[in-house]
Structure 1
Amino acid sequence: MSETTGRVLQLLGLLQGRRVWTGEELADRLGVTTRSVRRDIDRLRELGYPVHASPGHGGGYQLGAGAALPPLLLDPDEAVAMAVCLRVAAGGSVAGVGESALRALSKLDQVMPAKLRSQVGAVHDTTVTLGAATDSPVDPDVLMTLARASRDREHVTAGYVDVRGNVSQRRLEPYQLVTTGRRWYLLCFDRDRSDWRSLRLDRMSEVRALGSTFVAREAPDAASYVRRAISSSPYRYVARVRYFAPEHVVARTFPGASAVIEADGPDACIVTAGADDPERMVPWLAMPGCDFEVLEPSEVIDAVRVVADRIARAAR
């Protein structure tokens, strides 16, 4: 790297670290003349960085907001702090930012030296978060390994415990990570079962990227696949229920991860959802506050009659 290029990068880092600098302050920090500072400011502007200059007392050089986010220059302490915060956010403690935090963490981790990466792990391992939004915490290293493997189309092996407690070893082609806000899932192709699977990350262990790559298959839509899988496949009973209300009205009650909702004309919709106990499912089905009918299965239809009779007796 040339001396001028290195100085321009150092100048960019200074401008990102403080709101306003005078030309004299920058010249002193960089060990150059104010004329050299002006030339370096012009180079930054040519590269697309909006550096503003204001004259007079209290004025100076200021890095403004541009149309695109410029690359950030972080010192080691800042990089460690940012990575720790992103790990916490990716774990679900900040609603709605899990996937974005994971993408940012993946980019930062890619360029972070091994020494700093170990510092991040040490800080995270010795930190306890109270009141996290998820009841199924995921090891950040598992998140990072699967994020990188999905991006690079790299084979993965992992241990997995299914909903019935069965333990198995999986050979996977990872495609995409999906978060519901409470849990993380991986859309992947299971090489031993020759089929697509959605796996909960908190049930995975000993996740290893093998280094070998695979040719991408035509994959299903990750969000739709995971939504269908977690709303029905883990449960003994899967109900189909017609609600006599528009889809958007019923959707206010059922989170996207708990049920699949499909329009059935302008004034009705069909909800597909699962449960292990039909009677416990009935009050949940009644939550939208509109008329509905259970189409299948018979066990849930019978449970509606039983619960309705019980409520009628309580009313008398």
Structure 2
Amino acid sequence: MNRLERLYQIIEYLRSRPESPQSIGELADHFNVTIRTIHRDISVLRDQDVPIHSASGREGGIWLGAEYSMPPVGLSIGEAIGLWLVYRIGAARIPAAPGETLSSGMNKVLSSLPPDKQTKFASVLTRIVVGEPRTEALPPEAKVIDPEVYRECENAVVESRQLRIDYADKVGNKTSRTIEPHGILIQSPPWYLVAHDHKRDAPRMFRLDRIRQAKVDPLSVFVTRDPREVVTEIQKYSLEMDLGSKS
């Protein structure tokens, strides 16, 4: 366990024992470090305005002040997008009261993002289209999306970077392409990248479960467009689910 992890764990350890002051020796034994190390850790936490109180004597020890509150959640843009998708898709299918409760919770979580992340988060949301679920069964050849592939695709969309992919179409033909991923269409169960395909010099939709490999090109930035304009069929055939406000 490195020092940053230990500092966090000390806070959690004390927070879970609000009525029981802990001695420095007990903390040292618990974290398998020296008493001197614990003294230094407590000093660092106090320097960061963590309210750690102490009392001497037989019944003394240290404890976390009741005024302590958890710091803002350190979400990445990808994590925030993931939470938003779970909330939005779920809220469209459950009664209004739980939906309102979820909305309040989501607003609190997302408001914890720093202002620069909030701006970027709002920008990315405009390029995520939640489509009406397909009524037909998932084709038997469909597979689970590779987590590494998804991370690269998500990063390319968030950072507006070109993406190199190895793709297999519905009959198994394999090609390598460089694309500009302008957004994501979630038409559950399939998920699609809405992109401009350099190979065809035309807009294309690529099913994520058919992408065999994906790699972001960190040096190639492109100007993003609304995916509804890139693939006009999204609007033409009313593929988008009405989820209300996107904020």
TM normalised by structure 1 equals: 0.40
TM normalised by structure 2 equals: 0.49
